[in-house]
Homo-oligomer: A and B are copies of this chain.
């Protein structure tokens, strides 16, 4: 078996300790960023990215990953190998419970799980961090969020309301011993503790560790757009956990990459999913953020996504602009909200950034050998560069 030597591949030569899962608490900035879309000349859309081209360009947004990797080869289900993790998004500065943000959502295809979504849709608010993980661990991730919230909010469930935090998932069972449910609530707490602003590690980290996208190795990707002053000067960032798509349909800035690269397929492949988190400092309310979520999915479609039956394709969008007090002192809130007539540039930015974030996920992910030797290959940068020239995405 020949594959690119990857971070995860190398770890599999380390002594295997089956019982104890090796935890990588990944400080985002540690990663030497590999080539991203713009490094390769893939310039998507007409708006420019923010300084980091990441969801963390939206002030106050923090991202944390806990990466769980251990074991290799064919082990009894429940014993490994482990290729999974947790990614958390902290939407805004301060205590989100006491000072909530508006949020909206769109379910393109619902073969997935999203705790907390019913309340987000009803109330239009987000009041906890968001946790991403694998399908069979979404209950553990939800519990981790509960645990973290209870620690910092002693009144919850006594003198205060209870809570329904937001946890989402994709199925990493092709690479990961998902039956082992190796993600524990404490991993969420670790991910929150390690969450930071700044560059975001992409590819096979955190919840992206075991993901497969377009039958390449997928995972976490991010991108952002900074609207010009005369479009409001707002920033919008996207983070995806890409685990979706069939090879044939993959397009990168229009180039039919999936038709061109028909090898490097995984031996085994579950139907996938994608979670898209959109953050913005534009002053949108809940209805507008649900509208925005739909446009993220239009950007996804440009990469070739068809939203297969077995895919859980969910977008959640939030705005850091208005903060909603938990128990408002006043009966009414004074809000500054964008006019719907001025949403088009944000719509376009959401589509652009999502398209780019998916490409970034593919570019960052390294070939990964997982459960039973199943291998997900990285999108080969050299061949992609050739295709980008062939299809004039970049100058020849």
Contact = CB atoms under 8 A, between A and B. Distances in A.
Nearest to A141: B139
Contact of A178 (B136, B162, B255, B325): B162
Please give the count of copies of this chain that the complex contains.
4
Nearest to A303: B302
B309 A340 contact: yes
A304 to B, nearest CB: 8
Interface in A225-277: 232, 248-249, 251, 253-256, 270-271
A171 interface: yes
Contact of A335 (B150, B312, B337, B390): B337
A interface SS class = mixed
Scoring A142, A161, A298 by chain B CB atoms within 10 A of each residue's CB, the highest score goes to A298
A156 interface: yes
Interface in A343-389: 343-344, 347-348, 351, 371
Interface string A110-142: 111111111101111000000000011011101
Given A135-B162, A348-B306, A287 B117 contact: no
B112 A164 contact: yes
A69 interface: no
Given A162-B136, A298-B305, A254 B391 contact: yes
User: What range describes how many residues of A lie at the interface?
Assistant: 35 or more
A303 to B, nearest CB: 9
Nearest to A349: B306
Contact of A339 (B135, B285, B299, B331): B331
Given A302-B304, A307-B347, 15 more contacts: A109-B122, A110-B121, A124-B340, A142-B142, A156-B179, A157-B171, A158-B179, A161-B270, A161-B271, A232-B331, A254-B391, A283-B332, A306-B348, A327-B341, A335-B336
